[in-house]
């Protein structure tokens, strides 16, 4: 069977099926005060269990921010207040109250368009499962017992704190029915070096408890009860994989350099201050995208200037003098705020990002002031999202200058994200006004092809191999270079090994991607020549269909 390879590696082991079913008793309580006290005790026990994991010395660096985020959610007064109100207003038991409140958050995240945010639904399930087990079992344990080493965990879903609670030396692999490469469980599996295949779907039912499993998470393939020959083949693949990992490690300390000696800037996209350590570890040249909306989504009100300043200062210092491009908040669309309700029939084409900033200068100026205050602690660059008109850019630049003067900061580079067709075809007018462009391939595809990325019926349109998208990218780069302006790309397209030569030939100045893709990208550059890339680019730009582009690039 096939799934999504979420953590590369080869494994053979016995399946251990996990019972992830949640039994949620529902009954009426007479003493709501006592039930509220019971709920509070469960919250405290769950927090203590995560603290014990963090303090145990076995948690990997990539896992720490995830568990810290879970602990913060459990300590959130708003969560506690909602559960308390649920118990008091309905007289229902603590299990049901927690289930209803956390399920609401899970559904909210699951409905989001952004893959990274959509995967946060799994975190809500993980926290809910932990609390339910505390309430029902009377203890803090969440992981099932593993009696032997070399097992392959099999579950419809597994929460990140549950996976982190296992002894990684006993786990040969992981298979789940749901999930994707950006889920927190996938991140933890990668940090622990556990091969993982996720998103197997209904085929998961074919794996019996105790069955011998062969797993190649590099290709996403799973073999149930492999033959002796298949086991021998997997062992050979495992040795080859280990050798390749050792070879890839050499690129950590090297810049991205082509065969002809041209150095290319490779940066990382990060979603929080803790991600900076991983970016530094793989030897990036800076941060091409720091998403700030998580500061807004983690609380019950707009973050203060001091709270934002502290977060921006932390990431600037963590990057050790390398440039950090921080995007002003991209709220709306798939990132709603509970304290800023927006009711729209088509939120992706509505009131979001820079449009909110223009309408709410009080919120925008608070962020800009925090950014400029933090600028003295590193190489800050500020980027405005969702620009569609020159007038929007004029207004954003004017507000940025006001904030800069108010805090007495030095000037920093200012740029815009190119994600709308309007910005693409006005790029020659926009370029003289800013210091850099950053092309957002994911949104550029959605808006160029007029396709909703959450709608499976138009998924055939939703890919960046479309000729219209590629020609738009070429146009933007050429327009910016006429004015001597730097062009980066911070969408998934920048880390696609098949397209890296094409983008290099187009003249893209900076490739910003997830830290997990950096070493593979450096390897691609090390094998690249300008002439080869140019020849490939010419073929791609002459193609008339997306399928033709894929065929040229050898993409299936």
Measured CA to CA, the distance from residue 225 to residue 158 in angstroms comes to: 23
Instruction: Please provide the DSSP assignment of 512-530 as one string.
Output: EE-GGGHHHHHHHHHT--H
Q: Which tokens sit at 505? A: 């030939």
Q: What is the C-alpha to C-alpha distance for residues 423 and 297, in angstroms, rounded to an integer?
A: 27
pLDDT tens for the chain, 556 residues: list them. 999 888 889 999 999 998 655 678 899 999 999 999 999 999 888 888 888 877 765 556 556 767 777 888 888 888 889 999 999 999 999 999 999 999 988 888 877 766 666 767 878 888 888 888 888 876 555 555 566 788 999 988 887 777 877 888 889 999 999 877 767 678 778 777 889 999 898 999 999 999 999 999 888 999 999 999 999 999 999 899 888 878 888 899 899 999 999 999 999 988 766 678 888 889 999 999 998 877 776 666 888 999 999 999 999 999 989 999 999 988 765 556 666 766 666 667 777 788 888 888 999 999 999 999 999 999 999 999 999 999 999 999 999 999 999 999 999 999 999 999 999 999 999 999 999 999 998 889 989 999 876 666 787 888 899 999 999 999 999 999 999 999 999 977 998 999 999 999 999 999 998 887 899 899 999 999 999 999 999 999 999 999 999 999 998 7
CA 445 to the chain's CA centroid: 18
Task: Enter the tokens of residue 225.
Answer: 């009860």
* CATH code of domain 32-137: 1.10.274.10
- d(C-alpha 516, C-alpha 316), whole Å: 20
The SS3 of residue 166 is: coil
Are the beta carbons of 374 and 309 closer than 8 angstroms? yes
All structural domains of the chain with their residue ranges: 4-17+147-246, 32-137, 260-553
List phi, psi (to 5°) of 200: -70, -30
Q: Which two tokens stand for residue 309?
A: 């300043």
Q: Catalytic residue positions?
A: 184, 490
Give the pLDDT of residue 427: 97
Query: Burial level of 385, CB count in 10 A (0-12/13-18/19+)?
Result: buried
Residue with tokens 């309700």: 341
Structure tokens at 470: 């590629």
CATH topology of domain 4-17+147-246: Glucose Oxidase; domain 1 (3.50.30)
CATH for the 260-553 domain, from 2.60.40.3140, 1.10.8.350, 3.30.230.10, 3.20.20.60: 3.20.20.60
List, in sequence order, every beta strand (DSSP E) within 274-328: 287-291, 323-327
Q: What is the pTM of this model?
A: 0.70
Collapsed DSSP state (helix, strand, coil) of residue 15: strand
- In this structure, are residues 352 and 331 in contact, taking their beta carbons and an 8 Å threshold? yes
Closest CA to 295 of 352, 366, 356: 366
Kindly calculate the radius of gyration of the chain based on its CA atoms and give it in whole angstroms: 24
- CA distance to 281, 314, 509, per residue, from 320 (Å): 12, 10, 21
Quick one: how far is CA 336 from the chain centroid? 17
> How far apart are alpha carbons 146 and 163 in whole angstroms?
12
Residue 242 makes CB contacts below 8 A (sequence gap 6+) with none
Residue 161's SS3 state is: helix
């Amino acid at each position: 069977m096939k799934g999504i390879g979420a953590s590369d590696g080869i494994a053979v082991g016995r399946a251990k099926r996990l019972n992830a079913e949640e039994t949620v008793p529902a009954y009426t309580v007479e003493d709501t005060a006592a039930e509220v006290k019971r709920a509070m005790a469960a919250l405290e026990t769950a927090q203590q269990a995560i603290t014990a994991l963090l303090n145990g010395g076995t948690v990997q660096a990539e896992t720490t921010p995830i568990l810290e985020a879970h602990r913060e959610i459990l300590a959130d007064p708003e969560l506690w207040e909602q559960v308390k109100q649920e118990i008091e207003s309905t007289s229902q038991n603590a299990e049901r109250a927690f289930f209803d409140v956390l399920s609401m958050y899970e559904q909210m995240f699951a409905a989001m368009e952004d893959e990274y945010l959509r995967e946060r639904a799994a975190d809500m399930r993980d926290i809910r499962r932990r609390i339910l087990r505390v309430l029902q079992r009377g203890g803090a344990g969440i992981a099932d017992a593993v009696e032997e080493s070399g097992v392959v965990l099999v579950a419809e879903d597994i929460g990140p704190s549950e996976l982190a609670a296992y002894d990684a030396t006993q786990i040969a692999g992981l298979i789940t029915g749901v999930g994707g490469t950006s889920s927190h469980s996938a991140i933890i599996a990668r940090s622990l070096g556990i091969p993982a295949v996720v998103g197997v779907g209904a085929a998961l039912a074919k794996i019996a408890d105790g069955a011998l499993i062969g797993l190649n998470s590099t290709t996403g393939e799973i073999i149930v009860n492999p033959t002796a020959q298949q086991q021998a083949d997997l062992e050979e693949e495992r040795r080859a994989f280990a050798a390749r990992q050792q070879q890839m490690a050499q690129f950590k300390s090297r810049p991205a350099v082509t065969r002809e000696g041209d150095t290319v800037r490779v940066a990382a996209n990060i979603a929080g201050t803790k991600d900076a350590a991983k970016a530094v570890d793989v030897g990036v040249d800076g941060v091409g995208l720091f998403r700030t909306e998580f500061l807004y989504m983690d609380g019950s009100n707009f973050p203060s200037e001091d709270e934002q300043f502290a977060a921006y200062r932390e990431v600037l210092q963590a990057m050790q003098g390398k440039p950090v491009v921080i995007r002003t908040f991209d709220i709306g669309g798939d990132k709603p705020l509970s304290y800023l309700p927006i009711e729209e029939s088509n939120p992706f084409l509505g009131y979001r990002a820079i449009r909110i900033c223009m309408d709410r200068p009080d919120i925008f100026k608070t962020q800009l002031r925090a950014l400029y205050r933090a600028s003295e602690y590193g190489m800050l660059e500020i980027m405005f999202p969702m620009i569609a008109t020159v007038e929007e850019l004029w207004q954003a630049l004017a507000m940025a200058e006001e904030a800069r003067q108010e805090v007495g900061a030095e000037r920093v580079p200012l740029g815009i994200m190119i994600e709308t067709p309007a910005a693409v075809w006005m790029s020659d007018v926009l370029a003289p006004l800013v210091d850099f462009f950053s092309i957002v391939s994911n949104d550029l595809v959605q808006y160029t092809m007029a396709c909703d990325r959450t709608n499976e019926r138009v998924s055939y349109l939703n890919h960046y191999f479309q000729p219209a998208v590629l020609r738009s990218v070429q146009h933007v780069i050429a327009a910016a270079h006429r004015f001597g302006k730097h062009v980066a790309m911070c969408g998934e397209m920048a880390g696609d090994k098949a397209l890296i030569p094409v983008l290099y030939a187009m003249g893209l100045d900076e490739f910003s991607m997830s830290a997990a893709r950096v070493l593979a990208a450096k390897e691609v550059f090390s094998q690249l020549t300008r002439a080869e890339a140019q020849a490939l680019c010419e073929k791609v730009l002459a193609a008339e269909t997306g399928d033709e582009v894929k065929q040229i690039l050898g993409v299936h």
